[in-house]
Amino acid sequence: MKDQELMLTIMFGVIIMLVVIVITIWFFNQGQKKIIAIKLQKKENELAFQKTLLINTVKTQETERDRISSELHDDIASKLNIIHLNIHLLKKKIKDDPEVEKLIDQIESSLKQSTERTRNLSHELMPQLLKKFGIHHALKEMANIINISQVVQLSIKSEHLIQLNDDFKLLHLYRIIQELLNNTLKYAKASIVEIVFELDNEFLVMTYRDNGIGFDPENLTSGLGIGNIKTRSELLKGVYKITSDKTKKGMLFYLKFPNNDQD
C-alpha cells in the first residue's frame, strides 16, 4: 500500500509539474506574442508617422514653391516689365548722345535677360499652365520647349490622365517627369524620349523610355533626383521600376498606381 501511495504521490507530483510547466510556457508565449505585437504596432506607428511627416513636408514644399512662383510671376516679373517699358520710352527721347544710347541698350538687354530668367524660375517652381489649365497643357508646353531645341524629341501620350483629377497626384506626376527628363538630358545622350499613360483596370500606368547610353542598374545611386522619384511614387501609392541595359542602350521607367476610385 505504501508503495502504491508513493507511486500515486510521485505521479500526482509529476502531473502538477507538467501542468505548471505547460502553464508557464503558455504564459511565456503569450507574453512574447504581446511583446512582438507591441513592437510591431510601434513600428507601424513610426512608419505611419514618417509617412505623414513626409506628406506634410512635400505639401509644405509645394505650397512654398507656389507662393514664391506667384511672387516672381505676379510681382517681380510685372515690375521688371514696367521698368523695361520705361527704359524703352526713355530710349526714344534720347537720340543725340551715342554713349547714353549704348548704355541704355546694355541696360535694356540685361533687363530683358533678367525678366526671362524670372519667368523661367517661376515656371520651374510652379508651372503656371499646370496650375491654371491642367497637366495636359503643361506637358504639351514641356514637349514643345524640349522639341524646339532639336537635341531630344519628346512625345507624350497623356489622354488617359483624364481619369485622374487629384491636383496633388498630378503635381507628383509632373515632378517625376521633370526629374526623369533632367536625368536624360544630363546623362543619357538620348535623341528620343517617349512618355505613355495607359489604363490597367483600376490603375494608371506610366512608362518613360529613352534611347540613351543606358546604365548599370546595380550602380544606380539614390541621389537627390532618384530619391524624389521614389518618394513621389510612394506618395502616389504606386510601384515603380527602373531598368536599363548598356548593351541594348536606353532606360525604361515604369510606374503603376491606383486611380481616384481607389483613394
CA 13 – CA 19 distance, rounded (Å): 10
Q: Are residues 142 and 246 in the same domain?
A: yes
> What is the residue whose three cell numbers read 507574453?
31
> Of 95, 125, 155, at which residue does a domain stop?
125
Q: Are residues 88 and 165 in the same domain?
A: no
Q: Are residues 157 and 53 in the same domain?
A: no
Q: Are residues 56 and 74 in the same domain?
A: yes
Cell numbers of 19, please?
501542468
> 178: domain CATH number?
3.30.565.10
What would you report as the CA-atom Rg of the chain, rounded to the nearest whole angstrom? 32
Q: Digits of tens for pLDDT over the chain (263 positions)?
A: 566 776 777 787 778 888 888 888 888 888 888 888 787 777 777 767 767 777 777 777 777 777 776 677 667 777 777 777 777 777 777 766 677 777 777 787 877 788 777 777 766 676 777 778 888 888 988 899 899 988 899 999 988 787 788 888 888 999 999 999 988 988 888 999 999 999 988 899 999 999 998 887 766 665 557 888 888 898 898 999 998 876 667 899 999 999 865 44
Q: What pLDDT is stored for residue 223 in this prediction?
A: 58
Domain count within the chain: 2
Q: Are residues 190 and 73 in the same domain?
A: no
Q: Are residues 156 and 179 in the same domain?
A: yes
Q: Are residues 33 and 112 in the same domain?
A: yes
CA 151 – CA 132 distance, rounded (Å): 29
> Of 125, 156, 175, at which residue does a domain stop?
125
Residue type, 226: I
Strands (E), the chain: 153-157, 192-200, 203-210, 239-244, 251-258
> Among residues 104, 175, 65, 28, which one has the least CA distance to residue 183?
175
83 is in which domain, residue-wise?
1-125
Q: Are residues 180 and 91 in the same domain?
A: no
Contact 129, 141 (CB under 8 A): yes
Contact 193, 209 (CB under 8 A): yes
CA 259 – CA 242 distance, rounded (Å): 21
Q: Are residues 144 and 120 in the same domain?
A: no
- Residue 237 backbone class (left: φ over 0; alpha: ψ -120 to 50; beta: rest): left
> Among residues 218, 242, 219, which one has the least CA distance to residue 230?
242
> Of 94, 125, 156, at which residue does a domain stop?
125
Number of H helices, E strands in the chain: 7, 5
Q: What pLDDT is stored for residue 95 in this prediction?
A: 67
> What is the residue whose three cell numbers read 507601424?
44
